Structure 1
Amino acid sequence: MTQPLRWLQDEIADRMLQKLDIVKLDVKDILVVPDFAGKHLDTLAQRYPRARIFSITEKGVSGFQMWRTKALSNWRSLFASNTSPLASYLSSGRFDIPDNSVDLVFSDLLLHDLPDPKHFLQECWRVLREGGLITFSYLGPDTGKELRSLDLSGLKLRNLLSPWDMHDMGDALLGERFSDPVMDMEYLTLDYEKPALLLADIIALKLIHSTPPQVTEKEVLLQKITLEVVYGHAWALGKRLAKAKDNVAYIDPNQIGRKTRPDSA
């Protein structure tokens, strides 16, 4: 996601928070990935006023910008927060936070940009505490479907890195041991008055590889594009169980506590 579509990132974050209204969760620590200087941080701060926030900041967001936004949002734990860049996760495949350290993972419009969403889910499982929740949104495979009908030799279309529909994601969550996944999807239509605006957005959405010099604004005749927005959440339960095999979960004998009966009088 890039600056031209910051408003979209904020809008979807707000919709994610609305979906959390019915979820009861004791939150002490939150992982926001990607973290960006949006108005949703104020809502998070109000809902979880005592929570500490771990930030995986997206590219192009300065430390000062995040500090200022969180200060305005009245994060009580502002100076105790742990921040690392998204680029660090993309290169290492690991969040720079300990195991079992957060109660909520909040991920807004990221998964479609990852080459391996399953690995992301594995990392979320690692850092979530028992009973924690992952909530996320991403763009589904119907995003920008109107572009496929264009006959422009200079426009090189690009598929999303992870074109998963909500059923694919639901299966992946179960495969990574998450419980009770809830998936939802909606279509949003973006209408445009000027071709230049549409071209800027499809570049920001990474639906084309680049802006070829032979493609001009006049050649882009679309007036709208469709976004398929997929939402989901799932619980981290039974973290002491080994990963299931053939629908059977195995427990390490060392994890089984043994109770002894007191000697009779």
Structure 2
Amino acid sequence: MTQPIRWLQDEIADRMLQKLDIVKLDVKDLLIVPDFAGKHLDVLAKRFPKVRTLSITEEGVSSFQMWRAKALRNWRTLFSNTASPLASFTSSGRFDIPDNSVDLVFSNLLIQDLADPKHFLRECWRVLREGGLLTFSYLGPDTGKELRSLEIPSLKLKNILSPWDMHDMGDALLAERFSDPVMDMEYLTLDYEKPELLLADISALNLLHLGPDATPQLELLPQKLTLEVVYGHAWALGKHLAKAKDNVAYIDLNQIGRKTRPDSA
């Protein structure tokens, strides 16, 4: 995401938090990925007082900017002064966070930009504690469907990098050992009075590669844009179990307690 589409991040974050209203979860450590200076920080601070937050900051946002944003919003929680950049995760496939260290992963509009979301799910499983929750949103494959029929030589249109619908994601969560996944989807339609605004948004959403010398025929662009927004959450349960094979879960011998008989009198 880039600055022109910040309003969308804020709106989707608000909807994610509304969906969390029915979830009971004691959160001491929270991971936000990608972290950005949005309005949702106020709600998170009130919802989870005295939580420690860990940031995987989106590109262009420094740890100082995040610290300042949280301080200006009267962030009432304890938060880390250091942040790991999102670019580090996308290049390495790993969060710079220890195993079993957070109770909640909050991920807003990231997965559609990942080449293989399975790596993201595995990292979330790794850093979540037993009983922790992953909650996320991303853009589904119907996003920008109005653009697919366009034939404008100066525009290089792209599909989202990860074309997973909510059924694909539900299956992937189960495959990565998450429990009780809940998936939801909605369509948002954006209407535009000026084609320049549409061009800016589809570029910010990574649906377009526009070269520096390109001069697209703006009159050929549609006046609306469809966003398919997918929401989901799932629990990290049974982390002491080995990964199931053939629908059978295996328990390490070290996890089995040994009961001893008291000595006879």
CA contact (8 A) 1:55 1:81 kept: no
CA contact (8 A) 2:189 2:225 kept: yes
CA contact (8 A) 1:154 1:212 kept: no
CA contact (8 A) 1:34 1:56 kept: yes
Residues 180-228 of structure 1 deviation map (CA, whole Å, 9 limit, x = unaligned): 0000000000100000000011111111122474443534431001000
CA contact (8 A) 1:133 1:233 kept: yes
Residues 221-250 of structure 1 deviation map (CA, whole Å, 9 limit, x = unaligned): 310010000000000000000011111111
* 2:137 match: 137
Instruction: Rate the CA distance shift 1:79–1:164 in 2: closer, same or farther, 3 A.
Output: closer
- The residue type equivalent to 1:222 in the other structure is P
* 2:16 match: 16
Using the TM superposition, give the Cα deviation of residue 63 of structure 1 relative to its aligned residue in structure 2, in angstroms: 2.6
Instruction: Rate the CA distance shift 1:164–1:30 in 2: closer, same or farther, 3 A.
Output: same
- Which stretch of the first structure deviates more once superposed, 46-55 or 217-226? 217-226
CA contact (8 A) 1:27 1:51 kept: yes
* 2:108 match: 108
* 2:149 match: 149
Q: Show structure 2 runs of 5+ residues with no match.
A: none
- The residue type equivalent to 1:238 in the other structure is G
- Say if 2:247 is the partner of 1:244: no
Residues 118-167 of structure 1 deviation map (CA, whole Å, 9 limit, x = unaligned): 00000000000000000000000000000012122222211111010000
* 1:95 match: 95
Using the TM superposition, give the Cα deviation of residue 256 of structure 1 relative to its aligned residue in structure 2, in angstroms: 1.1
SS in 2 for 1:149: coil
TM-score of the aligned structures, taking structure 2 as reference length = 0.96
Measure the CA separation in 1 of the matches of 2:153 and 2:260. 77
CA contact (8 A) 1:45 1:73 kept: no
Measure the CA separation in 2 of the matches of 1:221 and 1:87. 32
CA contact (8 A) 2:55 2:83 kept: yes
- The residue type equivalent to 2:261 in the other structure is R
CA contact (8 A) 1:203 1:211 kept: no
Using the TM superposition, give the Cα deviation of residue 261 of structure 1 relative to its aligned residue in structure 2, in angstroms: 2.1
Instruction: Rate the CA distance shift 1:261–1:81 in 2: closer, same or farther, 3 A.
Output: farther
Q: Quote the sequence identity (%).
A: 81
* 2:119 match: 119
Using the TM superposition, give the Cα deviation of residue 72 of structure 1 relative to its aligned residue in structure 2, in angstroms: 2.6
Instruction: Rate the CA distance shift 1:181–1:261 in 2: closer, same or farther, 3 A.
Output: same
* 1:159 match: 159
CA RMSD after TM alignment: 1.4
1:29-44 aligned at under 5 Å gives the runs 29-44=29-44
Instruction: Rate the CA distance shift 1:49–1:244 in 2: closer, same or farther, 3 A.
Output: same
CA contact (8 A) 2:152 2:217 kept: no
Measure the CA separation in 2 of the matches of 1:81 and 1:125. 24
CA contact (8 A) 2:41 2:73 kept: yes
CA contact (8 A) 1:192 1:198 kept: yes
- Say if 2:232 is the partner of 1:232: yes
Using the TM superposition, give the Cα deviation of residue 82 of structure 1 relative to its aligned residue in structure 2, in angstroms: 4.2
SS in 2 for 1:94: coil
TM-score of the aligned structures, taking structure 1 as reference length = 0.96
* 1:200 match: 200
Using the TM superposition, give the Cα deviation of residue 92 of structure 1 relative to its aligned residue in structure 2, in angstroms: 1.5
Using the TM superposition, give the Cα deviation of residue 81 of structure 1 relative to its aligned residue in structure 2, in angstroms: 4.8
* 2:168 match: 168
CA contact (8 A) 1:165 1:230 kept: yes
Instruction: Rate the CA distance shift 1:37–1:217 in 2: closer, same or farther, 3 A.
Output: farther
Measure the CA separation in 2 of the matches of 1:234 and 1:260. 38
- The residue type equivalent to 1:84 in the other structure is S
Instruction: Rate the CA distance shift 1:158–1:76 in 2: closer, same or farther, 3 A.
Output: same
